[in-house]
Structure 1
Amino acid sequence: MIKVLIIGAGHAGGSVAAFLRQYGHDGPIVLAGEEDAPPYQRPPLSKAWLKGEADLDGLLLRPLSFYAEQNIDFRPSTTAVSIDPKARTVAFDDGSSETYDILVLATGSTARKLPLPGGDHPDLLELRTLKDAERLKAVLGPGKRLAVVGGGYVGLEAAASARALGAEAVVIERAPRVLARVASETLSAFFTDQHRARGVEILTGAEVTAVAPDGVTLADGSVVQADAVLVGVGALACDALARSAGLACDDGVVVDEQARTSDPTVFAVGDMTRRPIPVHGVHHRLESVPNALEQAKQAAAAIVGRPGPAPEVPWFWSDQYEYKLQIAGLPFDADRQVVRGEPATGSFAVFHLNGDRVVCVEAVNAPPEFMAGKQLIAKATPVEVVKLADMSVSMKAVAAQ
């Protein structure tokens, strides 16, 4: 029987184990993860978990009993330190080792550190794991002030949660606008307005020169005082283990459409991979739950020898206050934007087009626009721009062109 060893027990790794059993794999499965908790959802950490609206049982992908019931050897608090591809063994930090016929790497990503004075201080906060979220939650509340370095989605979500708990929040962003690397100007302006309306201070074009657990120093010499400092300036692929094993890497482990690496006995899934995205004709590293699930299905299908899933359109989401943002596609080759609806109403969508084809949609409290936009991207359906911008024309009618 084929023995599958999975390194990394996050959303991607845990899903590979579950899909393998669902797809009929009856050989041994070992699932080893660095954290002491079973695979859990990470998106709620910056939202429901911080606000006390979710407990651990609500975060778990599956109850702990699932792994024993499915004969999955789950090993928490277990860190892999090296791979021997020739011997097909993995060594762990406790001195033990494990053999494999098929190895699946799902080591995820790690928070990017600030290359500044104080940037490596252990009391600076990150938000990648359950323990990170517990540390952050402990310092939030009335009378407290949170400084967030980085105006990306995680930082903005944490600021929103801080305000919900009665704490002050200030977001410090080096770029001219928040979400500058990941969203349109229309979307950036909308969320900036929403945060400021709720008392969040947002500083853009602000260069950080030093950080400490109780404050942030800016290039103009001013200091932003805080009770806690959260650093959210992106993430790096955890590909060191793969690199040391000789696997091809390029800002992540390079994989094909089956999630297979340059070694045919090794697969890689989730945040740590640079993968093909057929709908856009590019290779890219994605950090999202839908990506983790899609690649988990790809790897599990390839391992058991069944047809792989159809390629999906990448999609993402963010919850801030009463607004749900849903994004489909990537605006790599967009040459114009069309705004459907009025941002002032709190329900609108920004469509990114290349010629007459939608390549990305950003939808705020607009499920029909998100769903139809995702369909338009998948089918590369040409659209009439005038109708796309006209709210009197339904999205169903737009997509049916």
Structure 2
Amino acid sequence: MGQDSSPPTGPDFTQGIPLAGIADDGVLAGHVGDEAALLVARDGDLFAVAATCTHYGGPLAEGLVVGETIRCPWHHACFNLRTGRPHAPALNDLKRWRVEVRDGRAFAREELPEHRAPELAAPALPASIVVVGGGAAGNAAIETLRREGYQGPITLISADAALPCDRPNLSKDYLAGSAPPEWIPLRSADFYVDRRIDVRLRTRVTVIDPARKSLTLDDGSQLEYGALLLATGASPVRLAIPGTDQPHVHVLRTLADADALIARLDTAKRCVIVGASFIGLEAAASLSTRGIEVHVVAPDKRPMERVLGAAIGDAVKALHEAHGVIFHLETTLTAIHPDRVTLSTGADLAADLVVTGIGVRPDIALAEAAGLATDRGVLVDACFETSAPGIFAAGDIARWPDARSGDNIRVEHWAVAERQGTAAARNMLGRRERFAAIPFFWSQHYDVVINYVGHAERWDRIEIDGDPAAHDCTVTYWRQDTRLAVATIGRDRASLDAEAAFESALSA
């Protein structure tokens, strides 16, 4: 996705680069043969790596080097320069080449093999691991287990009909029609087979027995586990008004939801989006791009104000209006009819398609029934272990102790869920590593992307540098003297700098 096919420019590292031309702790763009590459100097070492992110093909030369990592400016994927190992949202290693220094020149020619962890000693490990949930956290966990060298049985149980997919894309390029279906699965079926991961789709767990370490599935069968990860995610909130069961009313959460919505677009002319949330407005942008007349109905005074504040909310509203989207704010729906909706004002809006995006609720019923501690989510410690030993939780359901604020927080964002799945997997293998990753998400509206690092459920002060209306700004959210979060538009590097600063403050 997004790969640049233009010929590489800059010096050819196979021919050698004078060491004097490589700045201390600098990044030099060039190529190895016909492949774009970067030569990175860090603390006396030289690393040659591919120039594009393995997530969506972002330009790493415009990113940030922190320690022995290089970070993508687009979606904050991160790669270890020494091993190539990825950090969410990237899944694939970054290509590396061996660097040789001879006669005052640095050469990069030989591609290095993918880094592989040694097999882990079996006696100290769970005899088997079961992951419940095929979303971001679940998929990241099973990949991490194998990447870390775990050789025991792994089972992934998913209620979805499809393999784990790139869910953020469903409301963006996929719905807009610019991302083909083959981009959407995170991995092929063969990927899981090759790694001996038993993937069971269209399957639900009905009972967890922590004492016996067993699960009951919806077909009545039972499955034992040595360690268990709950990554059941969240389900869309449904409208409680007449007419929501009609075939032209949709939610957007799974690939099946997206495909069902797309199937109606050939005949749809006017869509009502219910809710001015991230999903709702991303869907509005995608449908508007397809030439559908879009109306947004929401009780809010302005879109996204609760999360991003008034200035960005106004900028987002103006952006959508410039693309023809019509807002009906401080208004709700009271009924949905086959060809229209009724607003709380009493007015009707014509609609042959309705998409509801009014939030999600964490799927914690299974955890509650098993007696796990919950509080608007499944309570976990800093290593993602629940109140039941051997049972972990990650992703949208997990409420964990935030290293920065000390509060127990729950975050519903893709990259956060992936990073938690990775952390939980490592801790199921006995690492006991406290989770301290800085929350990050992005939201795309047409060609405008909002990046957000940190976490601010509430704030008492907002500082704005730049102009949100011009799609060029850094917005900082404060509570007293504590910087909680930073949102940027058109300033990808500033977003990376903010993330690195939050990390540095934690380690200080």
| Fold conserved between structures, TM > 0.5 | yes
Equivalent positions of 1:328-347 (< 5 A) are: 328-332=453-457, 334-347=459-472
Q: Distance in 2 between matches of 1:212 and 1:179?
A: 27
The 3 A distance-change label for structure 1 pair 141 and 201 is: farther
- Structure 1 residue aligned with 2:168, among 36, 40, 43? 43
Q: Distance in 2 between matches of 1:285 and 1:265?
A: 21
Q: Does the aligned pair in 1 maintain the 2:364–2:377 contact within 8 Å?
A: yes
Matched to 1:194, the amino acid is: L
> Alignment partner of 1:49: what SS?
helix
- Structure 1 residue aligned with 2:356, among 221, 231, 247? 231
Q: Distance in 1 between matches of 2:497 and 2:311?
A: 20
Aligned to 1:129: 254
Aligned to 2:410: 285
**Structure 1 residue 266 corresponds to structure 2 residue 391:** yes
The 3 A distance-change label for structure 1 pair 141 and 363 is: farther
Matched to 2:423, the amino acid is: Q
Q: Does the aligned pair in 1 maintain the 2:136–2:164 contact within 8 Å?
A: yes
Aligned to 1:145: 270
Q: How many residues are paired up? A: 381
Matched to 1:157, the amino acid is: E
Query: Deviation at 1:332?
Result: 3.9
Aligned to 1:93: 218
Q: Distance in 1 between matches of 2:505 and 2:144?
A: 30
Per-residue CA distance 1:52-72 (angstroms, 9 max, x = gap): 222333122222211111111
- 259-268 or 354-363: which moved more? 354-363
**What is the TM-score normalised by the length of structure 2?**
0.72
Query: Deviation at 1:120?
Result: 4.8
Per-residue CA distance 1:248-300 (angstroms, 9 max, x = gap): 11111111111111101211111112122212221121111121122112211
Unmatched tracts of structure 2, length 5 or more:
1-121
- Structure 1 residue aligned with 2:342, among 202, 214, 217? 217
The 3 A distance-change label for structure 1 pair 73 and 251 is: same
**Structure 1 residue 348 corresponds to structure 2 residue 460:** no
Matched to 1:104, the amino acid is: L
> Alignment partner of 2:314: what SS?
helix
> Alignment partner of 1:187: what SS?
helix
Q: Cα RMSD (Å) of the superposition?
A: 1.8
- Structure 1 residue aligned with 2:422, among 297, 304, 309? 297
**Structure 1 residue 275 corresponds to structure 2 residue 275:** no
Matched to 2:415, the amino acid is: P
The 3 A distance-change label for structure 1 pair 248 and 356 is: closer
Matched to 2:289, the amino acid is: A
Aligned to 2:205: 80
The 3 A distance-change label for structure 1 pair 356 and 111 is: same
Q: Does the aligned pair in 2 maintain the 1:157–1:319 contact within 8 Å?
A: yes
The 3 A distance-change label for structure 1 pair 142 and 118 is: closer
Matched to 2:156, the amino acid is: L
Q: Distance in 2 between matches of 1:127 and 1:78?
A: 20
**Structure 1 residue 13 corresponds to structure 2 residue 111:** no
Q: Distance in 1 between matches of 2:472 and 2:276?
A: 22
Q: Tell me the percent identity.
A: 35
Unmatched tracts of structure 1, length 5 or more:
382-401
Query: Deviation at 1:320?
Result: 0.5
Query: Deviation at 1:188?
Result: 0.3
Query: Deviation at 1:351?
Result: 1.0
Aligned to 1:308: 433
**Structure 1 residue 256 corresponds to structure 2 residue 376:** no
Q: Distance in 2 between matches of 1:123 and 1:168?
A: 15
Matched to 1:249, the amino acid is: T
The 3 A distance-change label for structure 1 pair 143 and 241 is: closer
Per-residue CA distance 1:31-51 (angstroms, 9 max, x = gap): 111112211110000011112
**Structure 1 residue 166 corresponds to structure 2 residue 265:** no
Q: Distance in 1 between matches of 2:337 and 2:371?
A: 38
Equivalent positions of 1:57-72 (< 5 A) are: 57-72=182-197
Matched to 2:411, the amino acid is: L
Q: Distance in 1 between matches of 2:220 and 2:171?
A: 35
Query: Deviation at 1:331?
Result: 2.3
Q: Does the aligned pair in 2 maintain the 1:142–1:166 contact within 8 Å?
A: no
Q: Does the aligned pair in 2 maintain the 1:124–1:212 contact within 8 Å?
A: no
- Structure 2 residue aligned with 1:247, among 343, 353, 372? 372
Q: Distance in 2 between matches of 1:163 and 1:271?
A: 29
> Alignment partner of 1:57: what SS?
helix
**What is the TM-score normalised by the length of structure 1?**
0.90
Query: Deviation at 1:96?
Result: 1.7
Q: Does the aligned pair in 2 maintain the 1:145–1:168 contact within 8 Å?
A: yes
Aligned to 1:319: 444
